[in-house]
Amino acid sequence: LYANRALEQLSKIPIADMLGRTDVEWNPNKEEAEAVSAAECRVLESGHGQDLEEVFTTPGGRTRSFRSLKSPL
């Protein structure tokens, strides 16, 4: 998992609590977390990068959209 300070501030979850865990394990919004995980699986299976829009709902209930560039390593 890659996490930056912006995600830490939005989620109110310390980066240390995210590291070593999947999105589904740390994100309380399971639907959003499963969508992120599914997108990552599609990228790995296809072998091709994707430019995606992902959403994250903050603890305060505000939904934010993000551009996510994913590519297989």
Q: Look up the pTM and report it.
A: 0.81
**What is the structure's pLDDT at 1?**
63
Average pLDDT, the chain: 92
Report the pLDDT averaged over residues 24-42: 94
3-state secondary structure of 14: coil
Which residues are 69's β-sheet partners?
51
**Best CA proximity match to 11, nearest among 36, 45, 47, 42:** 36
**What is the structure's pLDDT at 38?**
95
- With vertex at residue 61, the alpha carbon angle to CA 3 and CA 7, rounded to the nearest 5 degrees, is 10
Task: Specify the DSSP element, H or E, that contains 52.
Answer: strand 50-57
2-23 per-position pLDDT tens digit: 788 988 998 999 999 999 999 9
Task: Specify the DSSP element, H or E, that contains 62.
Answer: none
Find tokens 């999947």 and name the residue.
Answer: 22
Q: Kindly tell me if the per-residue pLDDT of 55 is higher than 70.
A: yes
